[in-house]
Chain A
């Protein structure tokens, strides 16, 4: 049969390419002071900032609006950080969005390179650069999960898919939401990282946000009472199951009842 065999070839080809690229990409190194203090401090944050952030975000969070060569001739550019507050720094560092290996990359979930102490220090440092929002403390509200689902459908599902499995928007990849902690969800909604819209409190209140977070959390274990959930993506995995499991089983049953082929 042509269909499945070609599918296999294409899948292998599609998977092999990006894997090779991912393996070849160099991991970003973090510049650390030779001896770090035992407790988080804005001073440590300042040191880390100078070593790891300033080449793109400028000295003391001033921002760099036109790409210019920074350390190691790597071009650096980035938004100013003076008014972003603790909220944004906490989000970008805890999700591993920063530092970027190239300024042209889409920030996305990577390995978190800073320790908790370092993140706290950087948060303290950047928060001190200017007035900005503090880290939110959302309380997921499962009692209002239906409000959450309805708000999610209105504001989020266009990009993030109805069960938060992520997706595609022209020019960018939209991350799935299952592994994201409530605090980071709340932060992302208020920041609008990369191409995501930024939702203010007048548009989505903190109370509504708690309901949305309750819904997003529920998508980690959605109600798959129909059996094996096959990714909660809808028809694509269903079609794969139909062709890769269903079709072979049907052919096997046909073989099971048919006579054996005679030789000659």
Chain B
């Protein structure tokens, strides 16, 4: 194995170095600052960085850590090359690269604490510079001596800057229909639009069962539009308490609501229904983001959580073929609201 050869070579190198060091006297070891020798010489100036005593042990630790860092780094390459992509353990890669970096960091920590001279110096904190402050102001003031209508010129400059900034920012208007919030109100639904499932198959009213939920989309429109998805459920028509103006919106107790929460726009992906209504909480549509909870019986009113508006209801009808169709557009705006958005009166 190649890496092991490297490790052995490195160990031999370290061992040789240790042996050589052992035979020498500390004073003549290479790398020791010459300051101690100059100490007795009165003519040479004081060193800027005071001399410290050598620490061979620490040097050896640093060498060892750097060696280990090399082993880890080479290990990374070996692991990368040795494994197939499907079997490549992420852990091993991380240990190799992270280990190498940690070893280098540890080596530097040892260098910092044991090998370099750590001086403790004093210094005045920088002060403010009143003289220069005054001069700056003086230069500015004096350079305008030829200008008579200072205010006017400054005003003109500011106005030009403002005009140019406005011009420069204008292209951002092309980012989207900024002045026209109309698109926020649009949905692909309308009277007669057939309800289809995720794969585009029309949904038959007869297939809609109670106690479960379905996700429907408008036929021919993108499923990705915020105004498209509806959650469809069937309840006992006798229990419905829809607002008076929604008469006939729920043929056979089939209800459709926008699947986009009116609070922050997540999908209302939870339908809770009691198995034993005597004891259990009533039917509700729940958004899993902030747990806004809507009551389908009363037309999507908020019964829990932060949402401030009811879930918009889509009026339904059943065509001659038994397929579900929209009988109009939603009872309110779909998705989160915005400033001065008009809610359809109910």
Contacts and interface: CB of A to CB of B under 8 A. Distances in A.
Interface stretch (A12-20, A25-33, A194-202): A194-202
A195 B275 contact: yes
B272 A172 contact: yes
A170 B278 contact: no
Nearest to A200: B209
Interface in B213-248: 213-215
A225 B112 CA distance: 38
A191 B279 contact: no
A interface majority secondary structure: loop
Contact of B270 (A104, A158, A259): A158
Given A202-B207, A227-B90, A169 B278 contact: no
Interface in A138-168: 154, 157-159, 167-168
Interface in B78-111: 90-91, 94, 105-106, 108-109
Contacts of B90: 225-227
Contacts of B269: 157-159
A79 interface: yes
Contacts of A78: 276
B278 A77 contact: yes
A65 B293 CA distance: 26
Contacts, number: 94
A11 interface: no
Nearest to A159: B270
Given A157-B269, A159-B270, A259-B118, A195 B212 contact: no
A264 to B, nearest CB: 13
Report the interface size class on chain B: 35 or more
A256 interface: yes
A158 B304 contact: no
B286 interface: yes
A77 B279 CA distance: 8
Contact of A158 (B212, B278, B284, B288): B288
Contacts of B271: 197
A78 B272 CA distance: 19
Contacts of A200: 209, 212
B309 interface: no
Contacts of B272: 169-172, 195-197
Contacts of B112: 257
B267 interface: yes
B94 A227 contact: yes
A133 to B, nearest CB: 15
Interface string B103-139: 0011011001100001000000000000000000000
Contacts of A169: 270, 272, 286
A257 to B, nearest CB: 5
B185 interface: no
A167 to B, nearest CB: 7
A74 interface: no
Interface in B281-311: 281, 284, 286, 288, 291, 293, 304-305
A79 B273 contact: no
B275 A253 contact: no
A197 B213 contact: yes
A154 B215 contact: yes
Contact of B291 (A65, A79, A168, A194): A168
Contacts of B108: 257
Nearest to B207: A202
B37 interface: no
Contacts of A171: 272, 281, 284
Given A194-B275, A198-B211, 14 more contacts: A65-B278, A77-B279, A79-B276, A154-B198, A170-B272, A170-B281, A170-B284, A194-B280, A195-B273, A195-B281, A197-B212, A199-B212, A200-B209, A227-B91
By Cβ-Cβ distance, the 7 closest A-B pairs, closest first, are A158-B269, A195-B272, A171-B281, A170-B293, A197-B212, A158-B270, A79-B276
12 contacts: A77-B279, A78-B276, A154-B198, A159-B288, A170-B281, A170-B293, A171-B281, A195-B272, A197-B272, A198-B211, A226-B90, A256-B109
